[in-house]
Amino acid sequence: MEYKYGTAVSPGIAIGPALMLDTEGVHIPYRTVLPEQVADEVERLRRSLREAVEEARENRQRFTARFDPAIGNIFAAQQSALEDPSFWVKIEHLITTHNYSAEYAVSRGIREPVKKLTDAAARFGEHAGGGLARRQAAELIDIERQVLATLLGHQSPTVGPVSGERVVVLAHDLMTSDTADFSPRTVWAFATESGGPTSHTAILAGALEIPAVVGVGPFLTDVSGGDVVIVDGEQGLLILDPDDATIARYEAKRSALLSRADRYHSLRDKPSVTDDEVPIRLLGNIELASEAALCLERGADGVGLYRTEFLYLNKTTDPTEAEHYDAYRSVVTTLGPSRPLVIRTLDLGADKFSSVSGLLSTEKNPFLGLRSIRLCLRKLDLFKTQLRAILRVALGGDVRVMFPMISTVDELRQCKTLLNEVKEDLDEAGIPFKTDLPVGTMIEVPSAALLADVLAKEVDFFSIGTNDLIQYTLAADRNNENVAHLYNPADPAVLRLIRMVVEAANREGIDVNVCGEMSGEPLYTSLLVGLGLRQLSVTPRKVPEIKRVIRHLRVQEAEQVANQALRMDTARQVTNFLRDQLRRILPEAID
Ligand code: PEP
Ligand code: MG
């Protein structure tokens, strides 16, 4: 039995027979054709390109209809690369001027930009657009493989229930087009040797609800097709050759997850109130418009954070006002007129899709650079387009706007001035909009937390973004495992800043929420309620778990927990203390 650790990208547990998928690229040898065969070769190329375009278009439509335009857009990049006439011309040119075979021309024509992108990825590093260059290179290789498969008459590797049994797919890496063909009916789960959490394959796994672990490192030589394997999409674990006891343990874990899901389902319509009847508003964090339905299904009261960066996913141009409007409109329609929807303006840059709109960052330190609101305040057209859409859509629901990464009072005032300018423009054009749109700011930079008393006079609400607040307070990159020991929500410095923000909000009588990952961890629920929070916004799948903890809390006890935690010196002491408290209140939450 062997345990292999990777990155969990889609939750759930699967135990089943392995299906090894050979997804390695085909090596195309140098080959030329006779001059009189050139015209036929060009025709062969055109036919296969047309087929590939058709497939990308179908995938885009299928995934847009089933999930969301942002998911469908994963295929838009492939479609537009394939439809680009200069791409066709370039490859045809290789055939007509060098007499290359169609296969060799495709391979050569694609490998060259792939090499440039791979070099750029290595040069920029993951946070400065390198991740994006790597994803673009992967998309091109996927295109190459699809076109070559048609030219060579190969069947693309399909996964089906050969013996009526679902399989666990194991591969070195999976291309977007491989994963697009998966269905939870045929694929229990998948695990790959390479790949990262922001890859398109990872995003599709989440959308398809197929448990998945990526970036496991080499394991394919240690397993054969048909062997039973376990994929633990909760812990990011692949278990090869599990013994009977481990299989039994995982069977039990799987049924516990299923029965927990049932129990959580029964919580859906119960109110989010503490045991002593204090309401704690529980909202969902979403990235795709389609996730709003998931929030309601899981029992959230609305959406506390709509991360709009996903409107940029795989787009080569800025989203239009209509695209913004349509996405927001569909969330408003799902939530209805009275459930809150907090739309956060674009938080692009650093690790978030930084190459769109010519924004490919070459900064040495992008997390401290031109990201988020700083970028929007430089690209006013882009910002105003989004604000127009938000102001218009707000007429139909309880919509609020929120600015990310505010680090000075001036920055916030500039945003508000701009919002007023957009209102004037809409007014002059006679376009209806919500005149008294509530305005909030994220508190996710220590300077904003320290100035919370001043900022509180400027806005209608705060939302504490602990993901960034922790990284900036402790100077520890949230994605860097080398400093993961420093990145801790329980650090006393973080707790003091949260307390400061809540007190400032309470003094001004404005709402305050926590929307970082911390609010979705049951360990911190009593601490946050004890610190005075009456609103939490969490990833949709965490809503029932947090609601369950809230319903077991008493506010006075939570306040004692917070007071005691605030007197501690280290994150470790706080964590141990909170763990003991949670074990006392709701032991199953600790398990
Ligand atoms: C945060 O920083 O806590 C937050 C919610 O924003 P994001 O994770 O999108 O940066
Ligand atoms: Mg943030």
| CA–CA separation, 462 and 501 (whole Å) | 8
Does residue 25 sit in helix, strand or coil?
Answer: coil
Joined tokens for residue 509: 């009588």
Residue 410 is predicted with a pLDDT of: 98
Q: 19 pairs with which residues across the strands? A: 169
| CA–CA separation, 261 and 426 (whole Å) | 46
pLDDT, tens digit, 9 for 90 and up, residues 456-478:
999 999 999 999 999 999 999 88
Whether 183 has a pLDDT exceeding 50, the answer reads yes
Alpha helices in 23-129 (DSSP H): 38-66, 69-83, 85-98, 102-124
Query: Ligand 1 mean position to 305 CA, how many Å?
Result: 9
Residue 445 is predicted with a pLDDT of: 98
Let me know if 415 is a catalytic residue: no
Mutate to test the pocket of ligand 1, among 287, 468, 533 (most ligand atoms within 8 A of CB): 468
Question: Measuring from atom 3 of ligand 1, which residue has the nearest CA?
Answer: 465
Nearest-ligand number for the alpha carbon of 498: 1
Burial (CB count within 10 angstroms: exposed 0-12, middle 13-18, buried 19+), residue 89: exposed
More confident position, 163 or 571 = 571
Mutate to test the pocket of ligand 1, among 515, 528, 533 (most ligand atoms within 8 A of CB): 515
| CA–CA separation, 363 and 361 (whole Å) | 5
| Among 200, 295, 324, 415, the one annotated catalytic | 200
Give all strands of the β-sheet with 13-21 in edge-to-edge order. 2-5, 237-240, 228-232, 13-21, 167-171, 187-192, 212-214, 7-10
Three-state secondary structure of 61-91: HHHHHHCCHHHHHHHHHHHHHHHCHHHHHHH
| CA–CA separation, 341 and 566 (whole Å) | 32
Rounded to two decimals, the pTM is 0.78
Does residue 277 sit in helix, strand or coil?
Answer: coil
Three-state secondary structure of 520-548: HCHHHHHHHHHCCCCEEEECHHHHHHHHH
- Nearest to 381, CA basis, from 421, 353, 343: 421
User: 585: Cβ–Cβ under 8 A, 6 or more apart, which residues?
Assistant: 526, 549, 552, 553
299 lines ligand 1 (CB under 6 A): no
Whether 262 has a pLDDT exceeding 90, the answer reads no
Cα dihedral across residues 55, 61, 64, 67: positive or negative: negative
Query: Ligand 1 mean position to 132 CA, how many Å?
Result: 19
Find tokens 């945003």 and name the residue.
Answer: 415
Residue 163 is predicted with a pLDDT of: 52
Query: Ligand 1 mean position to 260 CA, how many Å?
Result: 28
Residue 161 is predicted with a pLDDT of: 44
284 lines ligand 1 (CB under 6 A): no
Q: Which value, to the nearest 10 degrees, does the dihedral of the CA atoms of residues 198, 204, 208, 209 take?
A: -10
- Nearest to 133, CA basis, from 116, 119, 121, 115: 121
Q: Which of 266-270, 335-339, 385-389, 486-490 has the least mean pLDDT?
A: 266-270
Residue 23 is predicted with a pLDDT of: 60
Query: Ligand 2 mean position to 474 CA, how many Å?
Result: 15
513 lines ligand 1 (CB under 6 A): no
Let me know if 200 is a catalytic residue: yes
* Residues above pLDDT 70, as percent of the chain: 93
pLDDT, tens digit, 9 for 90 and up, residues 64-73:
887 777 788 8
Q: Which of 118-122, 176-180, 448-452 has the highest mean pLDDT?
A: 448-452
- Nearest to 25, CA basis, from 224, 177, 161: 177
Joined tokens for residue 449: 């937390």
Whether 87 has a pLDDT exceeding 50, the answer reads yes
pLDDT, tens digit, 9 for 90 and up, residues 109-162:
888 888 888 887 777 665 555 667 777 788 888 888 888 888 887 665 555 444
Is the separation of the CB atoms in 352 and 367 below 8 Å? no
| CA–CA separation, 213 and 197 (whole Å) | 9
Report all structural domains of the chain as residue ranges with CATH numbers, in order of start.
2-22+158-241 (3.50.30.10), 35-152 (1.10.274.10), 267-590 (3.20.20.60)
Residue 243 is predicted with a pLDDT of: 96
The interaxial angle of helices 85-98 and 38-66, nearest 10 deg, is 160
Whether 210 has a pLDDT exceeding 70, the answer reads yes
Question: Measuring from atom 7 of ligand 1, which residue has the nearest CA?
Answer: 467
Residue 162 is predicted with a pLDDT of: 47
Mean pLDDT (whole number) for 289-296: 91
351 lines ligand 1 (CB under 6 A): no
Q: Which of 54-58, 129-133, 181-185, 237-241 has the least mean pLDDT?
A: 129-133
| CA–CA separation, 349 and 59 (whole Å) | 28
Mean pLDDT (whole number) for 385-406: 98
518 lines ligand 1 (CB under 6 A): no
Residue 574 is predicted with a pLDDT of: 98
Q: Name the average pLDDT for the chain.
A: 89
User: 417: Cβ–Cβ under 8 A, 6 or more apart, which residues?
Assistant: none
Tally Cβ neighbours within 10 Å of residue 22. 8
According to DSSP, residue 571 is labeled H
Phi/psi for 380 (5° steps) reads: -65, -35
Question: How is 313-334 classified by DSSP, letter by letter?
Answer: TT-SSPPPHHHHHHHHHHHHHH
pLDDT, tens digit, 9 for 90 and up, residues 333-384:
999 999 999 999 999 877 666 544 455 556 778 889 988 999 999 999 999 9
| CA–CA separation, 32 and 94 (whole Å) | 10
| CA–CA separation, 303 and 297 (whole Å) | 12
| CA–CA separation, 207 and 63 (whole Å) | 9
349 lines ligand 1 (CB under 6 A): no
| CA–CA separation, 313 and 55 (whole Å) | 20
pLDDT, tens digit, 9 for 90 and up, residues 479-535:
777 888 899 999 999 999 999 999 999 999 999 999 999 999 999 999 999 999 999
Joined tokens for residue 111: 């490998």
545 lines ligand 1 (CB under 6 A): no
444 lines ligand 1 (CB under 6 A): yes
Joined tokens for residue 532: 């005075």
Is the separation of the CB atoms in 285 and 44 below 8 Å? no
Whether 57 has a pLDDT exceeding 50, the answer reads yes
Query: Ligand 2 mean position to 162 CA, how many Å?
Result: 45
Joined tokens for residue 504: 């400032």
CA distances from 485 to 263, 476, 580 (A): 34, 9, 21
* Residues above pLDDT 90, as percent of the chain: 61
Q: Which amino acid is at 547?
A: K
More confident position, 519 or 315 = 519
Question: Measuring from atom 6 of ligand 1, which residue has the nearest CA?
Answer: 465
Tally Cβ neighbours within 10 Å of residue 576. 13
**Closest atom, ligand 1, to C-alpha of 463:** 5
**Closest atom, ligand 1, to C-alpha of 466:** 3
Is the separation of the CB atoms in 268 and 300 below 8 Å? no
Residue 341 is predicted with a pLDDT of: 98
Helix, strand, coil proportions of the chain in percent (round to 5)?
55, 15, 30
Mutate to test the pocket of ligand 1, among 127, 288, 307, 494 (most ligand atoms within 8 A of CB): 307
